[in-house]
Chain A
Amino acid sequence: MKTKHRAHSSTPDRLAKILPLDREVLGSYAFLLPLLFLISALILLPVSGTFLDSLRRDLPYLPGKFVGLENYLAIFRDRGFWVSVRFTTLFVLVSVPLEVSLGLMIALVLNETFPGRTALRAMVLIPWAIPAAVSGRIFELIYNYSYGLANYFTYLLGVGPVNWLGTEPGAFVAVVMADVWKTTPFAAIILLAGLAAIDEDLHRQAQVDRANLMQRFLNITLPLVKPVLVVALLFRTVDALRVFDVIFVLTGGGPGGSTNAVSLFAYTYYAAGDFGYGATVSVLLFVVALGFSLAYIKMARFGEEL
């Protein structure tokens, strides 16, 4: 009886020797529990569920069953899927560089000292603060064929009205412009942080050495801001890959499916109750986005100072 009691009381000590966990550390982990519970239940579980769904036939009118990779094979033969992949790729390739280069220009302006700089900085945030669904509606009106702002400009330029949302090239430009307007501010803010970190003495020294504006930009600013530029590009890529709201509102994926982003393509299957097929598209998007996300996390050097 006595020995048993002794063995019992020494268990925590022995446990502490095996695992480097004392009460202090265990208590600290407790602070993480609500967060871990919520993200497990509402992010990890749904994503795992989506992976499982992609291997199943999950339709409202048929019994669900495991189908292996059948959904994936069907997707790869689906012309609509490839159209949406092509659109999304083009969308990323056009809108992201546009956003980041425009963002860099705005950041260069905001990095200078001039009267009204604070006001301009605040104005730049306005497109960012407006819900994408709302800015989608504003752009829908801008591209209105009969009386929108875009065709007002074509009229001023002496060109006939353009059918922005009814033609494939028009809709592509429309969607890209709406996204550029909404997201350039974010790129500008990130790049501004990078510019602000550049030592002003470098510019002053170069000025003494008679380097002109362009030379200073190319030889000092650009190389020093390059890491932040890469981060902004990757971050915007991850975001542009999953684009949904602007397109849902502006074109609904049309005309003729030409602006059907991958997220939207998956959504239409979900909305129709075909969860297996929708999940398969989501998984493919997830995998591609994850690749860019990991690159972003690595390039942004998160976690280095911890």
Chain B
Amino acid sequence: MMREETLKKILLAGAALLTMIFCLGPFIYMVLTSLSSNPDFLLPTKPFNLTLANFMAVIFSKSAHFLAYLRNSLIISAVAAVATVFLASLAAYSLTLLSLPGKTVLLLCILALSMFPPISLISYLFKLMTALGWVNTYPGLVLPYVAWSMPLSLWILVSYFAQVPKDLHRSARIDGASRFQTLIKIILPVAAPGVFSTTLLVFIFAFNEFLFALMLTVDYRSRTIPVGIALFEGIHGQIPWGEIMAAATLTTIPMVILTLIFQRRIVQGLTRGAVKQ
């Protein structure tokens, strides 16, 4: 018995260490490269020269448009997250607390939508946005993000709203509150943790999205940071790894901080969106 406990402890410690290296390794490599004047510092003959020049270049270079990309990403993702969660709350409320015939089928159909390959949408999204004149604008990207993250948000919110006692809803309605008032004043505050998790997940999803942004943006006026970094090639023929990694670091640090602070919320939301327990 004792031997097995020790064995288990050693295994656990080893596995925990490996997990840490696996998850952090590439991330640390990115940060190190961004802080080095030479990306080839791993070569035995090359030293590691600490510098902030890469960050300076990325932030102050007008032609790289890094700050514009970052601003676009933050605005588009935040607007998309709030709009999605608001509209999905309306739907989740009607599906959980109001009695509607055929709601399970409807929910399952909506869930199936979220699994469509994005490539099967982009050509028409492009044609639609071209017709509306919204290619390379914020709404041109916000609207597809709202629609695309709606099914999953709906599912997560439904699972949170289902835990709100029905009596709470019923008594508010008997007291004369309209459905909309009941949702805003009673249901949303009670389900606030779930609403917050969902908003966070949609924000991260929109911030990380690539294909729609690649297809529907043209330049710094609406291009988001993942596309900006993916297409960043430098002008002198050689890939400016230091600057790319500095841009990548500046992009990921906010996401990493968000993740570390709200770890519990994110895990809860992700789990509810993927498996029913």
Give every chain A residue within 8 A of B274 (Cβ-Cβ). Answer: 186, 190, 231-232, 235, 300
Inter-chain CA distance A186–B127, complex, in Å, is 33
Check: A81 CB closer than 8 A to any chain B CB.
Answer: no
Report whether over half of chain A's contact residues are helix, strand or loop; otherwise say mixed: helix
One of A7-15, A89-97, A113-121, A165-173 contacting the partner: A113-121
Minimal Cβ-Cβ distance residue in A for B208:
A131
Q: Are A105 and B15 neighbours in the complex by a CB distance under 8 Å?
A: yes
Number of A-B contacts (CB under 8 A): 317
The answer to whether A39 touches B90 (Cβ under 8 A) is no
**A302 and B256: CB pair below 8 A?**
no
Cβ 8 A contact of B123, one of A44, A123, A186, A279: A279
Select A35's contact among B12, B88, B127, B211, beta carbons within 8 Å.
B88
Q: Assess A123 versus B119: contact at CB under 8 Å? Given A35-B90, A134-B226.
A: no
Name B's A-contacting residues (CB within 8 A). Answer: 1, 4, 7-8, 11-13, 15-16, 19-20, 22-27, 29-30, 33, 39-43, 46, 87-88, 90-91, 93-96, 98-101, 103-104, 106-108, 110-113, 115-128, 143-144, 146-148, 150-151, 154-155, 158, 162, 179, 204, 207-208, 210-211, 214-215, 225-227, 229-230, 241, 244-245, 248, 251-252, 255-256, 258-260, 263, 266-267, 270-271, 274-277
CA A142 to CA B144, docked complex, whole Å: 33
Residues of A within 8 A of B143 (CB): 38, 42
Interface hub of A35, A189, A266, A303 (most chain B Cβ within 10 A): A35
Q: CA A304 – CA B104 in complex, angstroms?
A: 8
Cα(A92)–Cα(B11), bound, Å: 30
Residues of chain A in range 274-306 having any CB-CB distance to chain B below 8 Å: 275, 278-279, 281-283, 285-286, 289-290, 292-294, 296-297, 300-306
Q: Which residues of A contact B20 (CB under 8 A)?
A: 120, 123
Q: Are A34 and B211 in contact (CB under 8 A)?
A: no
Select A121's contact among B99, B111, B267, beta carbons within 8 Å: B267
Whether the pair B26, A138 counts as a contact (CB closer than 8 A) is yes
Q: How far is the CB of B144 from chain A (nearest CB, A)?
A: 6
Taking CB atoms, residues of chain B closer than 8 Å to A126 are 23-24, 27, 256, 259
Write the chain A residue with the least CB distance to B40: A147
Shortest distance from the beta carbon of A250 to any chain B beta carbon, whole Å:
10
Selected contact of B121 from candidates A43, A133, A190, A192, CB within 8 Å: A43
**A116: min CB distance to chain B, Å:** 8
Interface residues on A, range: 35 or more
Complex: how many Å from CA A232 to CA B275? 9
Residues of A contacting B258 in the complex (Cβ-Cβ under 8 angstroms):
129
A42-B144, A244-B210 are contacts. A35–B120 as well, Cβ < 8 Å?
no
Among A29, A42, A241, A301, which residue has its beta carbon within 8 angstroms of that of B100? A29
Asked whether, in the complex, the Cβ of B263 is within 8 Å of the Cβ of A122, the reply is yes
Contact across chains for A43 and B99 when beta carbons are under 8 A apart = no
A297/B111 contact (C-beta < 8 A), A39-B151, A126-B27, A267-B119 known: yes
Q: In this complex, what residue of A is CB-closest to B254?
A: A129
Is B251 a contact partner of A134 (Cβ separation < 8 A)?
yes
Contact partner of A38 among B111, B120, B147, B244, CB < 8 A?
A: B147
Bound together, the chains give a CA A53 to CA B123 distance in angstroms of: 9
Measured between C-beta atoms, what is the minimum distance from A74 to chain B in Å?
Answer: 17
Q: Are A278 and B150 in contact (CB-based, < 8 A)?
A: no
Residues of the B chain whose Cβ atoms lie less than 8 Å from the Cβ of A102 = 22
A83 at the interface (CB under 8 A from B): no
B22–A181 touching, CB < 8 Å = yes
Check A28/B87 contact, CB under 8 A, given A46-B123, A139-B26: no
- The complex places the Cα of A102 from the Cα of B22 at a distance, in Å, of 10
Chain A hits for B263, CB < 8 A: 118, 121-122, 125
A28-B98, A213-B7 known; A270 vs B230 contact (CB < 8 Å): no
Name the one of B22, B40, B276 contacting A146, with C-beta atoms under 8 angstroms.
B40
In the docked arrangement, what's the CA distance between A93 and B252, Å? Answer: 30
Instruction: Report the minimum CB–CB distance from A271 to chain B (whole Å).
Output: 9
A-B contact pairs, 21 of them (CB 8 A): A24-B98, A25-B100, A28-B179, A32-B90, A35-B87, A46-B121, A47-B121, A122-B260, A124-B19, A126-B259, A137-B248, A141-B39, A144-B241, A149-B26, A213-B7, A263-B118, A270-B122, A286-B117, A293-B115, A300-B276, A306-B104
User: Would you call B119 and A285 a contact (CB within 8 A)?
Assistant: yes
